[in-house]
Structure 1
């Protein structure tokens, strides 16, 4: 009778079949697609990708990761910060990437802007108004966002007649996978308002979930385990319901943060995500 009580077995962290379809050997194929990409719009020379999301989500780190891979070296061009420091990015900033040792650049632009925080209703209104102006191409590089007032059309940073190259072609909301499901109501409502404006302007919307290595210990051991991580799969499902965005428009990534050299698997995940971002943007605008 004196048998020891049995302890419940820990739930498995990895599912048997991958829920995230990812061929880790496609890195070179995705890189070739990106190297050969040319915008298809009439008169279009640039494909503009706008990164947006809460403070500390990893927007600047994602930009640095993309630049690092395409320039074959760890890059810290976009200033990043820790979550507790508030939004490090204050200005609207465009990042262009050199193509190899050549003088020309990749035909896509990554735009960074001030992060969104749990703020009052007035700031939300101002933020949404400025976001719409950004998406329509009216805001110039260097504009410092003002939480108290939106950009006036008489301001020097207001572009009166934006071209197709000034307009945003896809909106990418970046979220920390650890805290994405804990967003305050004000942030969720603001994201949904901005998404509605993007839809009205004919701009597709996708989500990048960062810091996936902090969600699941198996993914921290090996980033390829992201494809089978049950914890990450649940995060994606929950976030899809919270924001109202399809699961196949949510892309989990591991940004370069403390690494001192490039890693094939981190590269593969980011390049695959960038390729999807471009393809979704092109498909949306050509339909």
Structure 2
């Protein structure tokens, strides 16, 4: 059987490439036969070669694509298709183009931990800043609490039980979690975890319960009901909340790997809560979890997070869907399968934590001089 009769196969395949703007890329592979027709694709469409930009070559059994002066538009999936009378074959590779670092972060865990530990509230009537974690089921609200506690405990911490897969909300009760300050007591920070948002008006936490939580009406230990909201007759309802009882910062938690698939009902519910928080002057941020699942470049090295075009695109999508400014969106990674501490995970979370502490404190300072409306 002659070589031209052989079905196309790959002796070597294309490899993923990660480059910076201005670099040169060469994607190449070796085939088992040179009697083939070669087609190059980008993102499942035939590649439109531009003179001086793309060079396609076949030298014996080596097929290659050269891309000069790489820019952001060159990022994507590249596929080579081989074909002859005996059959066809294809293989693909991802080209990732790093951006210039568009947000800086201090990769110094010790300095950031010290800064948080030294923080004090400028109001002796407010003992702790209160943060409410809010978002769809399975995005990592409880895991966010565990990650923050792990940083200050110096070991993986699982005190706040977290569901391992999306489904029905694992958290049913309104709980408060403090952060230990080593052997020195507790930090002036408290995170409240609540039932997750679910599709449908009678599923998951109710929007009016979240708004009552923001106002400080709901006390810890309240069991959420999907059928009806809390009433003033409930023993867990606080009639006249003080500034100390209120939530000082709303933290919406969403999964970076699922943002584009979020149902409109989720988005509407979260926007309604944000509008209520805005009306009360409460600062709002987004913790965008699972960045490692959404971006291979970040999965390989968390320090690439603010060079990743993929992460920036997802953050833009998040900003547009939820109406949150980009500078209030923080991509983070929670502890999940790690059994030992990781400084990059810690620094990413500490950077976000430091920012929300300042904004929550600004809220407390502002409303310390403004009487709270009694409802």
> TM-score normalized by structure 2?
0.72
Contact 1:13 1:216 in 2 (8 A): no
> Is 1:22 matched with 2:22?
no
Q: Which residue of 2 aligns with 1:108?
A: 189
Q: Which residue of 1 aligns with 2:96?
A: 13
C-alpha deviations, 1:202-257, integer Å up to 9, x for none? Answer: 10110000010001112112111212111111100111111111111000001001
Q: Which residue of 2 aligns with 1:134?
A: 213
Higher helix share: 1
* 1:82-231 matched pairs, under 5 angstroms: 82-102=164-184, 104-120=185-201, 127-231=206-310
Which of 336, 340, 347 is the aligned partner of 1:261?
A: 340
Contact 1:27 1:272 in 2 (8 A): no
* 1:233-244 matched pairs, under 5 angstroms: 233-244=312-323
What is the aligned length? 283
> Is 1:245 matched with 2:324?
yes
**In the TM superposition, what is the alpha-carbon distance from 1:47 to its structure 2 partner?**
0.3
Which 5+ residue runs of structure 1 have no aligned equivalent?
none
RMSD: 1.9
C-alpha deviations, 1:116-170, integer Å up to 9, x for none? Answer: 01113x558x712111110111111111111111111111111122222211000
**In the TM superposition, what is the alpha-carbon distance from 1:93 to its structure 2 partner?**
0.3
Partner Cα distance (2:186, 2:99) in 1: 42
Q: Secondary structure at the match of 2:190?
A: strand
Contact 2:199 2:265 in 1 (8 A): yes
Partner Cα distance (1:238, 1:218) in 2: 19
Bigger drift between 130-139 and 277-286 goes to 277-286
Q: Which residue of 1 aligns with 2:118?
A: 36
Contact 1:74 1:260 in 2 (8 A): yes
Q: Which has the higher contact order (CA 8 A, sep 6+)?
A: 1
> TM-score normalized by structure 1?
0.93
Higher strand share: 2
